[in-house]
Structure 1
Amino acid sequence: MTELRWIPYFTPRSQSDYVRHHPKKLPDEYKQLSSKIEDVVRKSINPSDIIEGDFSAFSNVQRNNHPTIIKVVWENKEAHSNRSVPHLVYLSREKRPKHPHHAKAGAMNVLTRVSGLMTNAPYMLNVDCDMFANSQNIILHAMCMLLGSKNENENAFVQYPQVFYDGLKDDPFGNQMTVLWKYVGQGISGIQGPFYSGTGCVHRRKVIYGLSPNYVKVGETNAESMKHGKSADEELLNVFGKEFTKSAADALNGKAVCPDMLTETIEAAYQVAGVGYEYGTHWGKKVGWMYGSTTEDVLTGLSIHNKGWRSIIYAPNPPAFLGCAPTGGPAAMTQQKRWATGLLEILLSKNFPIFGTLFANLQFRQCLAYFWILSWGLRSVPELCYAALPAYSIITNSHFLPKGQEPAYYIPIAVFLIYNMYTLSEYLRTSLSIRAWWNNQRMGRITTMSAWLFGLLGVILKLLGISETVFEVTRKDQSTSSDEGTEDTEAGKFTFDRSPVFVPPTAMLFMQLTALATALLRLQPPARDGVGSGSLETMCSVLLVVCLLPFLKGLFGSGKYGIPLSTIFKSAGLALLFYTLCY
């Protein structure tokens, strides 16, 4: 980024080879660059004392209150050379406290407009900042699926599965989603294609601009415009804004017209990156990345599928992109809470998938696939009820499952064994371990009754007008390792903080322990119908305690590995209230 010696890191060559030959140089230079930028932001030194002109734009700025910053780091003047380095442009959009910035969706729309003015390339690669390319043939692979007379009016984007280079062994936090990508992702590829997951995706620009598969060229006035007496130019002006009209028309008509010099577009780029540019346009509503959800990726993909477009999942070997997964309880819970919140925002809005099936071009089976993922947060309520049921049955000496002497006793046991054997086979067929399967089953229980529950509560508060949902950025710390490449002994241990998201699972653990202690000490009241709780209720309670084992260890841990006292007191109070209400 700063000097030519950084170029091998960005060019299509193996990153591991470069790091192996330069084991200390790359991290040291990155730390020096980060330190310089942080020093300027803190105003501790004069920007001109570091590198003249490079960092002056970053002085006297605040994170959420600063003008647009555009830096042409590298301009490719050898466009027809196969060995040339592409344009490298730094962009920081304008942010003001009184103007909504729409989080990642707003950032993606600004990047789309600025790139449209500078290059107007017909395809766009979307990669998160914590991911890097792992193969030099990524774009070529995507072009094979997007180019061609049939594909031009059929396939909107190519989605690569998310793979993590620093993924902990056996996926202790259940967030690597290997099985989900293999079975769900490839399963729905037979309908209209996979969901857009927000990174590792090659988009067709004209699709992002709102074009349908059965489009007409923008130079012709479409039927809807004629009804309102508008010309094509007026329609483009209303949809995209003044400075972007020509660029949008060229992209929609398949013309990749770009200026000879990037400097010719800088002034217009500052205009389209301003906070007020989108007012009066359709950005975030009908074109670009969609607003209205903290999971803007799923919402944008849904709007594309609603138009009748298909998408493609492609999982090359080696993986196309590698990223880093959240490590630690708070980071994993933050990510899951944001997902549950955003998905429920889509489900409980005008973007409900069934509307796309009834009034647009979303296939019914694709609608069911979207409903499955959008309803994740709703599962928290029945999950909590079912989790509390064994404890309630033991404390009150009642039962909700068949007794040992009944023929139906073996039905729930058979269902439990068949389900778990099937899910285990999925993990084994994906070359994952039994421990990875168990970690994902365990985290499925923890996540549902904690992060997803708070996501549901957040959406309810938003619908009632009490508060707004907040886009929470997931902290992704790289897992530490020793010089020999072995993982840190503490890696994978569950960590905690003072977030209320840890209260429900801790309270559930107290409830199950209280119920088991009640049964063990024979403190149960007499059974009302002569038949009290049985072995199945006890096994359910024990299973929940095993699932919540990280929280049991957290009760006796210290530091970040221990549950804070405030969380313990709140959870104990809820458990005591539950025990009282049982009588």
Structure 2
Amino acid sequence: MANQNSLPLHERIELRYTLHKVIEFIILFLLLSLLVHRLLSFNNHGFAWLIAFLCELSFTLNWVITISNKWNIVEYKTYPDRLLQRVSKHELPPVDMFVTTADSKLEPPIITINTVLSLLAVDYPTNKLACYVSDDGCSPLTFYSLSEASKFAKLWVPFCKKYNVQVRAPFRYFSNNNATFSSNDSSEFKQEWTLLKDEYEQLSLKIEDAVGNSIPFDVSQDFAVFSNIERNNHPTIIKVLWENKEDVSDGPPHLIYISREKRPKHPHHSKAGAMNVLTRVSGLMTNAPFMLNVDCDMFVNNPNIMLHAMCTLLGSENETKNAFAQFPQIFYDGLKDDPFGNQMVVLWKFVGHGIAGIQGPTYAGTGCVHRRKVIYGLSPTDTKTGERYPNIGSGNVEMLKTFGTSEEFTKSAGDALQGNTERENMSSKSVEAAHRVGECEYEYGTNWGIKVH
């Protein structure tokens, strides 16, 4: 009988798709035949024949590239149960989760909070998680919605883990398709389900009222920072909405709101700039070795997402080889038979898996778990950190040039590069330092956006 520690945490499986390959070769043969026919018939036709030949040549070259990308289609099968047999839950590495939003009108807060709630409720030790929400619109409405959602999360997260809920975005879980009980459901579950549904409906009504009316600001408390503020001209705002100080296993993880500094004369680099700020702020406050980034209109459809990612990142033979784990996107509420191709099946099922068979998965911009040290410029196989940054963590010139002038952040970057995953509770000092690295001028004269991104 095989030792569990010797079994792989993930496997690379090649998919044959023989029929698809035969059809693609037939199409390629027909295209080449057409090109040969064009070449042999140039003398009998005019300029229009040449234009047709060039168009068909371009299409043929594109077809060759497409076939190359789809020729060796692979998929990765992960084994979370083996991971949990190999390491205990308290030994799993911490993960910082990033959610980005930019406009509370185009991206309704009710969608954003559902994304956040689905992340807060994943099956992973909550003392190993922290969720950061980047609001590039500096919207008090978004902040208000997250503040109310953090209260609901104290009920939602324990409920999901107690009853092993699979869809952990409330708006999907409480939809009509899931709003019925089975004969096996206990009376306790039905009672708690009804309570949670009522609480979510109240939360939704509060946010709807806030969208339709002005939010009742209390300038003496959290909303004071939003008074008389301009969307594209404001200082850094960082608010800890919930901190899991007691390391409660079934309670919500840390939840932090961030709106980076913006000034009219400084370029903001859109989402890329927001991601850089998220990386720096999280590096100071929690400094997890892995980072997940998602858009605000997504939700986790598998509660074991973190365990699946760790299977590809912590495999015994490939522990330091994988830079990131990319998850495909699945779209909900699509049209029947997908007539307009909105599900992007070809991109995700064939091209994406085909490129994975050539060089590994491609980063799709969202739904990805990164190694922090890779974002900081090191290869996942690089173990000679000290040669690149001598006296690491001591404020040497190379570290300051790369990561900026914040001594606190430089130290946290040094810890991340050396694989130090020790995690301390957030303090007012770390929040104060985080405001500094969120300033729009912080990246000037550094390698942010060049070697670090």
Other structure's SS at 1:219 match: helix
Stretch moving more, 58-67 or 17-26: 17-26
Which structure ranks higher in relative contact order (CA pairs < 8 Å, sequence separation ≥ 6)? 2
Q: How far, CA to CA, are the matches of 2:333 and 2:427 in structure 1? A: 37
Q: 1:233 aligned to 2:396?
A: yes
2:320 alignment partner in structure 1? 153
Superposed CA deviations along residues 362-398 of structure 1, whole A, max 9, x for unmatched, are: xxxxxxxxxxxxxxxxxxxxxxxxxxxxxxxxxxxxx
One-letter amino acid of the counterpart of residue 451, structure 2? K
- 2:55 is equivalent to residue 55 of structure 1: no
Aligned residues of 1:70 and 1:270 also touching (Cα < 8 A):
yes
Once residues 259 and 72 of structure 1 are traced to their aligned partners in structure 2, the CA distance between those partners, rounded to angstroms, is 15
Aligned to 2:264: 97
**Which whole-Å CA distance do the structure 2 matches of 1:38 and 1:62 have between them?**
20
Q: Which residue of 1 aligns with 2:137?
A: none
Distance 2:387 2:355 in 1: 36
Cα distance change, pair 27–167 in 1 and its aligned pair in 2 (3 A): farther
Q: Equivalent residue of 1:47, what SS? A: coil
Distance in 1, Cα, partners of 2:213 & 2:386: 51
Amino acid at match of 2:420: K
- Who is 1:245 aligned against? 410
Cα shift readout 1:535-572 (whole Å, capped 9, x = no counterpart)? xxxxxxxxxxxxxxxxxxxxxxxxxxxxxxxxxxxxxx
| Contact persistence 1:217–1:253 (CA under 8 A) | no
| Alpha-carbon distance, 1:54 to partner | 3.1
2:203 is aligned to: 29
- For these two proteins, the number of residue pairs brought into alignment is 275
Shift of 1:175: 2.5
The residue matched to 1:163 in structure 2 has which SS?
coil
Q: Does 1:71 align with 2:239?
A: yes
Partner Cα separation in structure 2 for residue 135 and residue 75 of structure 1: 24
Rounded to whole Å, the distance in 1 between the matches of 2:351 and 2:155 is 37
Separation in 2, partners of 1:37, 1:251: 40
Retained in 1: the 8 A contact 2:154–2:251?
no
Corresponding residue for 2:450?
Answer: 285
Cα 1:280/1:27, change in 2 over 3 Å:
farther
For 2:347, the equivalent position in structure 1 comes to 180
Report % sequence identity: 58
Mapping of 1:206-355 within 5 angstroms?
A: 206-221=373-388, 233-243=396-406, 244-288=409-453
Matches of 2:433 and 2:213, distance apart in 1: 31
* Residue 141, structure 1, aligned to residue 305, structure 2: no
Task: State the Cα deviation string for residues 26-62 of structure 1 (Å, max 9, x = none).
Answer: 355235236437755xxxx76118xx62322222122
What's the offset of the Cα at 1:263?
2.4
CA distance in 2, matches of 1:205, 1:287: 10
Contact 2:286 2:426 in 1 (8 A): no
- The alpha carbon displacement at 1:237 in A equals 0.8
- Which ranges of structure 2 fall in alignment gaps of 5 or more residues? 1-146, 180-193
- CA contact 2:152–2:199 (8 Å) conserved in 1: no
Which of residues 252, 260, 265 is equivalent to 1:85?
252
- On the 8 A contact 1:157/1:204 being kept in 2, the answer is yes
Is the CA contact (8 Å cut-off) linking 2:152 and 2:200 kept in structure 1? no
Q: 2:289–2:372: 8 Å Cα contact kept in structure 1?
A: yes
CA distance in 2, matches of 1:77, 1:25: 25
Contact 1:119 1:256 in 2 (8 A): no
Q: Secondary structure in 2 aligned to 1:132? A: coil
Distance between the aligned counterparts of 1:9 and 1:107, measured in 2? 28
Residues 173-572 of structure 1 mapped to structure 2, 5 A cutoff: 173-221=340-388, 233-243=396-406, 244-288=409-453
What CA deviation, in whole Å up to 9, does each residue of 1:398-437 have, x standing for no partner? xxxxxxxxxxxxxxxxxxxxxxxxxxxxxxxxxxxxxxxx
The answer to whether structure 1 residue 118 and structure 2 residue 288 are counterparts is no
Indicate if the aligned counterparts of 1:68 and 1:273 stay in contact, CA closer than 8 A. yes
Is the alpha carbon distance of 1:167 and 1:57 closer, same or farther for their aligned partners in structure 2, counting shifts above 3 Å? Answer: farther
Shift of 1:25: 5.3
- Paired residues of 2:326 and 2:363 also in contact (CA < 8 A): yes
Code of the residue aligned with 2:399 in structure 1: it is: L
Question: Residue 19 of structure 2 corresponds to which residue in structure 1?
Answer: none
Rg (Cα) greater in structure:
1
| 1:260 CA displacement | 2.8
* Residues 46 and 262 of structure 1: CA distance in aligned 2, closer, same or farther (over 3 Å): same
Question: Structure 1 pair 95/34, CA: closer, same or farther in 2 (3 Å)?
Answer: farther
Structure 2: distance between partners of 1:286 and 1:125: 20
Aligned alpha-carbon RMSD (Å): 2.7
Superposed displacement of residue 83, structure 1: 2.0
What does the per-residue CA deviation read over 1:251-309, in whole Å, with 9 as the maximum and x for residues that have no partner? 01100243333323111100000111111111111111xxxxxxxxxxxxxxxxxxxxx
CA positional deviation for 1:113: 0.6
The answer on whether the counterparts of 1:76 and 1:87 sit within 8 Å (CA) in structure 2 is yes
State the secondary structure of the residue aligned to 1:73.
strand
- Measured in 2, the distance between the counterparts of 1:221 and 1:159 equals 28
- Secondary structure of the 2:240 match is strand
